[in-house]
Amino acid sequence: MNLTTFGGRRFLLTVGAGAVTSALQWFGKLDPAGSTFALVIGITVGSYITGNTVQKIKAPGVDRAPQD
């Protein structure tokens, strides 16, 4: 199975974490105020963005402007 057709490994992990966290909040397994939900979603999205940024920086053959 090629995960790229579904958006990639990181994207699927992010969507899965969001779905599980949403289900836990829906069924009342997390705090009623929603602070745990917000924390988990924020960390998940931040990790996704960080992973994409690191991948773009470390990707071979990427043309970058020379730094002075």
Domain assignment of residue 7, yes or no: yes
Domain assignment of residue 34, yes or no: yes
Q: What is the predicted pLDDT for the residue at 22?
A: 95
Tell me the C-alpha distance between 38 and 34, whole Å: 6
The residue among 62, 2, 68 whose CA lies nearest residue 54 is: 62
Using the predicted structure, report yes or no on whether residue 2 has a pLDDT greater than 90: no
pLDDT tier, 59 (very low <50, low <70, confident <90, very high otherwise): confident
What is the domain count for the chain? 1
Domain assignment of residue 39, yes or no: yes
Domain assignment of residue 66, yes or no: no
pLDDT tier, 66 (very low <50, low <70, confident <90, very high otherwise): low
Domain assignment of residue 30, yes or no: yes
Q: What is the predicted pLDDT for the residue at 67?
A: 62
| Residue 24, domain extent | 3-57
Tell me the C-alpha distance between 52 and 50, whole Å: 5
Domain assignment of residue 14, yes or no: yes
